[in-house]
């Protein structure tokens, strides 16, 4: 058996086309152009690639985009001042602080992210938005897990009643993914580095989400035949070689459907960021009218 390939570009195109329509209707109805600001601190090469991809997507869709490059030695106070300006800048509807932050301000990450106006929090990382997601009031939702959900929906893959297993419990992927799947009536298990008998649990999964950050972590013997395997990993094993968390070549002959890396959910992450930016703009308009 060979798994159906879930190609990110097809789903991303559908999500972006819908966002583009909404950009046009906001311009026609309200003369407002949605705006996204991305703050990048320092020179992390991977971050630069992602930020450039985000900027290009904004241009494609007619979203106003600002990339704010701050020096590697920026202080917490400098970041908070920049966020404060963007919180009050009416051209900007979405604010994203590219992670990871440099080591000297790493411990300030939560304080920095929590300073973003929750209505402009297109990453969905603010505790208000996390709380809303956890209580069934989905508002601005983290882009990568939301991309996975949208992909399942667009591919016509049923979630309700399915056994979903997530490997990884990060605030960015694992935990929000848990809430999104639970809200759609899956039976959800979250596994992590201290989980015992991992393969026995993952083998129960109808939907398996890998978000561990370790190349080839999910092997064929961990996958139930016919399962949907979503690979959220982005591991750069050489300057130009990107691999996921799943041993793709082996798992594709067991799974029913699988996402590739690159070309999988990474593309959806950006598409949802565009969707969230438009949603944030709409939200802010509805509060001012």
Ligand X SMILES: Nc1nc(=O)c2c([nH]1)NC[C@@H]1CN(c3ccc(C(=O)N[C@@H](CCC(=O)O)C(=O)O)cc3)C=[N+]21
Residues 177-216 interacting with ligand X (rule: CB under 6 A): none
Q: What order of strands is seen across the sheet that includes strand 257-258?
A: 4-5, 257-258, 228-231, 207-210, 163-167, 187-191
- Choose between 80 and 198: whose C-beta lies nearer to Mg ion: 198
Q: Are 141 and 171 in contact (CB under 8 A)?
A: no
How many residues in the shown chain lie near ligand X by CB under 6 A? 19
- Choose between 89 and 171: whose C-beta lies nearer to ligand X: 171
Angle between helices 143-154 and 8-30 (to 10 degrees): 110
For Cα atoms 264, 270, 272, give the angle at the middle one, nearest 5 degrees: 100
Asked if 121 is an active-site residue, the reply is no
Pairing of strands 187-191, 163-167: parallel
Q: Which of 140, 266, 275, 277 binds ligand X (CB under 6 A)?
A: 266
Residues 140-159 interacting with ligand X (rule: CB under 6 A): 143
Q: Is 269 in the site for Mg ion (CB under 5 A)?
A: no
Asked if 123 is an active-site residue, the reply is yes
- Cα–Cα distance, 150 to 110 (Å, whole number): 27
Q: Which of 242, 254, 255, 281 binds ligand X (CB under 6 A)?
A: 242
- Residues 125-164: x/- map of binding to Mg ion (CB under 5 A)? ----------------------------------------
Q: Which does 61 bind (CB under 5 to 8 A by kind): ligand X, Mg ion, none?
A: none
- Choose between 39 and 148: whose C-beta lies nearer to Mg ion: 148
Start-to-end Cα distance in the chain: 56
- Cα–Cα distance, 75 to 82 (Å, whole number): 11
Q: Which of 105, 270, 278, 281 binds ligand X (CB under 6 A)?
A: 270
Active-site option among 22, 82, 98, 284: 98
Q: Is 123 in the site for ligand X (CB under 6 A)?
A: yes
Residue carrying the six token digits 């992670």: 99
Q: Which of 269, 276, 277, 284 binds ligand X (CB under 6 A)?
A: 269
What radius of gyration, in Å, describes the C-alpha atoms of the chain?
A: 19
Active-site option among 16, 22, 54, 206: 54
Contacts of 135 (CB under 8 A, 6+ apart): none
Q: Is 170 in the site for Mg ion (CB under 5 A)?
A: yes
Residue 235 is inside which H or E element, if any? strand 235-238
Active-site option among 123, 231, 245, 247: 123
- Choose between 142 and 260: whose C-beta lies nearer to Mg ion: 142
**Which residues are part of a known binding site for NADP(+)?**
168-170, 234
Contacts of 55 (CB under 8 A, 6+ apart): 38, 65, 67
Binding segment for ligand X (CB under 6 A), chosen from 27-35, 174-182, 213-221, 259-267, is 259-267
Q: 3-class DSSP state for residue 260?
A: coil
Q: Is 83 in the site for ligand X (CB under 6 A)?
A: no
Q: Which of 218, 267, 274, 280 binds ligand X (CB under 6 A)?
A: 267
Contacts of 24 (CB under 8 A, 6+ apart): 62
How many residues in the shown chain lie near Mg ion by CB under 5 A? 5
Which residues of the chain form contacts with Mg ion (CB under 5 A)? Answer: 168, 170, 173-174, 211
Catalytic residue numbers? Answer: 54, 98, 123
């Amino acid at each position: 058996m060979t798994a159906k390939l879930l190609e990110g570009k097809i789903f991303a195109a559908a999500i972006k086309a819908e966002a583009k329509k909404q950009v046009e209707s906001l311009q026609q109805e309200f003369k407002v152009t949605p705006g996204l600001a991305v703050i990048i601190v320092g020179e992390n090469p991977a971050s630069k690639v992602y930020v450039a991809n985000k900027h290009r997507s904004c241009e494609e869709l007619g979203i106003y985009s600002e990339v704010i490059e701050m020096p590697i030695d920026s202080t917490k106070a400098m970041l908070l001042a920049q966020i404060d300006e963007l919180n009050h800048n009416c051209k900007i509807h979405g604010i994203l602080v590219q992670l990871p932050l440099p080591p000297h301000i790493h411990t300030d990450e939560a304080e920095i992210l929590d300073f973003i106006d929750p209505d402009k929090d297109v990453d969905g990382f603010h505790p208000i938005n996390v709380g809303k997601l956890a209580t069934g009031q989905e508002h601005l939702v983290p882009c990568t897990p939301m991309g996975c959900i949208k992909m399942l929906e667009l591919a016509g893959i049923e979630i309700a009643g399915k056994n979903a297993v997530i490997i990884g419990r990060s605030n960015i992927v694992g935990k929000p993914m848990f809430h999104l799947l639970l809200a759609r009536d899956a039976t959800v298990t979250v596994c992590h580095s201290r989980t015992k008998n991992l393969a026995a649990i993952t083998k129960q999964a109808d939907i398996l989400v890998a978000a561990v950050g370790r190349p080839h972590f999910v092997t064929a013997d961990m996958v139930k035949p016919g399962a949907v395997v979503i690979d959220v990993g982005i591991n750069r094993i050489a300057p130009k070689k990107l691999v996921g968390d799943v041993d793709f070549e082996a798992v594709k002959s067991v799974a029913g459907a699988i996402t590739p890396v690159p070309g999988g959910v990474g593309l959806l992450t950006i598409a949802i960021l565009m969707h969230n930016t438009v949603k944030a703009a709409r939200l802010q308009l509805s509060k001012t009218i």
